[in-house]
């Protein structure tokens, strides 16, 4: 078998990257307040990380994946997405068509 004809099939395409045993998004939610608290010298911000992670994982279990993005699109004006530079061609959320 040639190396040219071989390829790798990834079996875990839907799994998030992990740091130790936390998912990457949980780790960022937990560790970011820690670093901000250390830089600002605030103990309350520093110890808020595990609490934020707890509420974040609780919210993730309650709502399906992508709920936050859907709600942001529905409630924010189109200018908020255009300023990011990534989503330029999406229609505004005020252009809603309801069919009954």
In the chain, where the domains are located: 21-84
Say how many Å lie between the first and final Cα of the chain, rounded. 58
Q: Which contiguous run of DSSP H or E holds residue 18? A: strand 18-19
Which ranges constitute the DSSP H helices of the chain? 24-40, 43-62, 67-75, 78-84
Q: What is the pTM of this model?
A: 0.53
Summarize pLDDT for 33-82 with one digit per residue, the tens: 889 998 988 888 888 888 888 888 888 888 877 777 777 777 777 776 66
- Above 70 in pLDDT, residue 95? no
- Above 60 in pLDDT, residue 1? no
- Local confidence band at 92 (pLDDT 50, 70, 90 cut-offs): low
Q: Which two tokens stand for residue 96?
A: 């809603």
- Local confidence band at 100 (pLDDT 50, 70, 90 cut-offs): low
Q: How far is CA 8 from the centre of its chain?
A: 27
Q: Name 24's Cβ contacts closer than 8 Å, sequence gap at least 6.
A: 16, 17, 18
């Amino acid at each position: 078998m040639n190396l040219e004809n071989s390829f790798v099939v990834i079996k875990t395409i839907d799994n998030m990257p992990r740091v130790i045993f936390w998912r990457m998004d949980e780790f960022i939610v937990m560790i970011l307040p820690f670093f901000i608290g250390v830089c600002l010298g605030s103990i309350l911000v520093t110890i808020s990380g595990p609490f934020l992670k707890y509420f974040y994982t609780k919210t993730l279990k309650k709502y399906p994946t992508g709920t936050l993005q859907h709600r942001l699109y529905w409630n924010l004006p189109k200018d908020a997405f255009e300023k990011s530079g990534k989503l330029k061609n999406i229609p505004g959320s005020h252009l809603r068509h309801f069919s009954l």
